[in-house]
Amino acid sequence: MNVARSFNNWRKYRQTVTELGRMSSRELQDLGIDRADIHSLARQSVAR
């Protein structure tokens, strides 16, 4: 994997973590997401 792609993946991961982290517990619950799962969901978003 090249440097640019790695950087873009890292940015996508951080953006996902940030956006989900800003949501309230109620909003996450409405989406079926547990706060403890945010980092694993962000990793999955990069793998796609």
User: pLDDT tens digit string along 1-48?
Assistant: 699 999 999 999 999 999 999 999 999 999 999 999 999 999 999 987
- The amino acid that residue 41 corresponds to is L
Predicted local confidence at residue 48, as pLDDT: 75
CA dist 11 and 26 (Å) reads: 26
Cα 9 to Cα 46: distance, rounded to the nearest angstrom: 6
Q: What is the pTM of this model?
A: 0.86
Q: State the Cα–Cα distance between residues 9 and 26, nearest whole angstrom.
A: 28
Cα 32 to Cα 6: distance, rounded to the nearest angstrom: 29
